[in-house]
Structure 1
Amino acid sequence: MQLIDNYQRRFRYLRLSVTERCNFQCQYCLPDGYQAGNQSFLSFNELENVVKGFVGLGINKLRLTGGEPTLRRDFTDLVAMVSEHSQIKTVAVTTNGYRVLSDVHHWQAAGLNAINISVDSLSANSFALITGQDKLKETLAGVERALEVGIPSVKINTVLLKGLSDKLSDYLNWIKDRKVSLRFIELMETGESATFFQRYHTSGAVIEKQLIEQGWLLELKGELDGPAKVYSHPDYQGKIGLIMPYSKNFCQSCNRLRVSSSGKFHFCLFGNEGIDIRDLLQNSSQSDDLKNRILHALERKPESHFLQQHQTGVLKNLSQIGG
């Protein structure tokens, strides 16, 4: 059994959200901070059955997301559980970085081999304004620690915000001697962020033009790579990635699926529905039923999202499904 939709897109990459909780108050996601509700997040056992089911459907890359996934006390155990599956070549996490400095060596020992750390500004004041946390120094120290312990893939996520983002030259100076991939992500509209989006959205095409003019070259995508257009330059150890969901044909190369922390299967961050699979996660004997439900649901995956028409689907904020 393979995960192939009606548009012949092959899905080998699962983004698995393990919590909606977050301890930052990023302006583009949770400006008022995480508001606890009555929802219960998937247990370790349920998450293990999600992983087993998707591995049986050919997933080779799995990213633990949130919210802030490292807030879970069993996070290191989750990494170890995922890495036990030899079919999964990339065991990744996306994090705001607050625990990287202290714990990344434990995660690496458990099997983590890819980490994305959010750094929305290299200016302490701007970082605090955007994230609600005066943690730039600690976050950057965490990046250095991830490089020191030898995590093979260290990526930096930077959301582009008109008037708030640093100058491109600042980022280029920072990555010149660091083997990181810094990815500029276009601000995406969600159900709760329409006003913020209208004020701060800017196109990544502006940065792409500057990169090309400065001699940066577009790299070919690998089989498990995400949607970023990655540029490299012979004078820089670091690379630049651009994630531009508002660009033409962005969804053509989609290779990822999502499961939320409440046990819903999602085709897309901006889809109109989530298929409940939690009832099939209680024990491993339900694995065949789980795989069949996923395969049948995938037949309904649309060709594209509709962000250009300001249709954001069920997504209220990026922590809800795992941004």
Structure 2
Amino acid sequence: MLNDQFGRQFNYLRLSITDVCNFSCTYCLPNGYQCDTPRNFLNKSEINTLVNAFAQLGTKKVRITGGEPCLRNDVTDIIKQCKNTPGIEKVAITTNGFNLFNKIDEFYNAGLDALNISIDSLNPSMFKLITGHDKLTHILKGIDRAIELGIKDIKINAVLAKQFNKNQLKDFLDWVKLKKVTVRFIELMETGNGAAFFEQNHLSGLSVKTQLLAQGWLQVVRGKLNGPAEEFCHPDFEGRIGLIMPYSKDFCKSCNRLRVSSLGKLHLCLFAEHGIDLRPHLNSQDTPATVNAIQAAMGNKTISHELDKRLTGATTHLAMLGG
């Protein structure tokens, strides 16, 4: 296994394949994608070398993310490529769902195991206000199709923000009453470009947790390949509720994931000061050298992010590295 100096094991890779996004969410890209980085994103050969290197180091799960990964025409090929890598047990994708209904059959047939969709409100007007797009009905059709296909691990990500969705817990609870999905409320995280929005909109997930426990929800034991979310179930509900609270005590204690950007940089934390360039090894298809570079980097992994000190590292917005 890939370990750090604090005894944590890393079996989960979050792989960004583009930093481009076609939505303009208020908390991430309020002015839309600005094209302020090179667009020579990792190609399939480089991704193959990268995923094989991580698999050799004990990685079991790969999440394909962005930006919006479904803007790449070869995303289905990348899903299949990751799934066919020896050692990789689970392939997931995080998407805004803009073309999910049209693509989910392809993704499923390519071997997709898990699906995360960003939906910050179930109110169409509020959804449009947050994202800049009137796509909610179409996205929900894609989720229904994913359920029909038998994809069991479906999660909905909703960022908590005072100005937009602080009072919409009931809407999501009503939805998961009969819908076998997990809705995960994510605390707003500060980024380099989002300090003012953070100050105006940050909400602690603890208030949601208190409400859930008061209503008879029970906390679920976390799986070994799962991220840091706290999940809750209720005997009267088909679906589950999750909470991701990066400002809570010991949030990073169970960290099990590493990130690679769409330009081939290894990020030991979402809020690290810089990435470690793996591109030369990937470009030459040198898997052993990639393995060595990843192992060498682990000595620089810190015990925790420093969001509580308002230190956001090199992350100017969440789309640049996939959140």
Q: When the two structures are superposed, what TM-score results if normalisation uses the length of structure 1? A: 0.98
Q: CA deviation at 1:321?
A: 1.1
Range with bigger deviation, 288-297 or 12-21 = 288-297
Q: Over aligned residue pairs, what C-alpha RMSD do you find?
A: 0.9
Q: Is the 8 A contact 2:56 2:87 kept in 1?
A: no
CA 1:33/1:151 → structure 2, altered by over 3 Å: closer, same or farther? same
**Measured at CA, do residues 38 and 154 of structure 1 come closer, stay the same or move farther in structure 2, by a change above 3 Å?**
closer
| Whole-angstrom distance in 1 between the partners of 2:37 and 2:194 | 23
- Range moving further from structure 2, 290-299 or 204-213: 290-299
AA in 1 matched with 2:227: G
Residue range with higher mean Cα deviation, 171-180 or 139-148: 139-148
| Aligned AA (2:197) | F
Q: Partner of 2:318: helix, strand, or coil?
A: coil
Quote the residue 1:13 is aligned against.
12
Query: CA separation in 1, counterparts of 2:189 and 2:97?
Result: 21
Indicate the residue corresponding to 1:191 in structure 2.
192
> How far does residue 63 in structure 1 lie from its aligned partner after superposition?
0.2
Matches of 1:203 and 1:287, distance apart in 2 = 42
Unaligned runs of 5+ in 1: none
- Give the corresponding residue for 1:113: 113
Q: Distance in 2 between matches of 1:254 and 1:318?
A: 18
| Shift in CA distance, 195/38, structure 1 to aligned 2, threshold 3 Å | closer
User: Using the alignment, how far apart are the partners of 1:288 and 1:205 within structure 2?
Assistant: 44
**1:29 maps to which residue?**
28
Paired residues of 2:177 and 2:237 also in contact (CA < 8 A)? yes
Moved over 4 A (4+): none
Report the 3-state secondary structure (helix = DSSP H, G, I; strand = E; otherwise coil) of the residue aligned with 2:235.
Answer: coil
- What is the match of residue 101 of structure 2? 101
Task: Establish whether residue 283 from structure 1 lines up as the match of residue 284 from structure 2.
Answer: yes
Aligned residue pairs total: 321
SS of match in other structure, 2:80: helix
Residues 162-212 of structure 1: CA deviation (Å, up to 9, x unaligned): 131142111100000011010000000000000000011100000000000
Q: SS state of the match for residue 162, structure 2?
A: coil
Alignment-derived partner of residue 174 in structure 1: 175
Q: Which residue of 1 aligns with 2:267?
A: 266
Q: How does 1:67-146 map to 2 (within 5 A)?
A: 67-146=67-146
Q: CA deviation at 1:37?
A: 3.5
The C-alpha deviation readout for 1:68-126, integer Å capped at 9, x for no partner, is 00100000000110010242111000000011111101100000010000110011111
1:97 partner letter: G
Structure-2 residue corresponding to 1:257: 258
Which region of structure 1 is more displaced relative to structure 2, 80-89 or 121-130? Answer: 80-89
| C-alpha contact 2:24 2:31 (8 A) present in aligned 1 | yes
1:152: Cα distance to partner? 2.0
Q: Is the 8 A contact 2:55 2:86 kept in 1?
A: no
- Measure the CA separation in 1 of the matches of 2:70 and 2:203: 30
Q: Give the match's secondary structure for 1:164.
A: helix
- Aligned 8 A contact 2:52 2:86 in 1: no
d(CA) in 2 for partners of 1:38, 1:101? 30
- Name the aligned partner's letter for residue 255 of structure 2: C
Tell me, yes or no, if the aligned pair for 2:162 and 2:201 is still in contact at 8 Å.
Answer: yes
Alpha-carbon separation, structure 1, partners of 2:302 and 2:113: 32
SS in 1 for 2:2: coil
Q: For residue 308 of structure 1, give the secondary structure of its aligned residue in structure 2.
A: helix
Letter in 2 for 1:223: K
Q: Deviations over 1:230-268 (max 9, x none)?
A: 000000000000000000000000000000001100011
Partner amino acid for 2:158? T
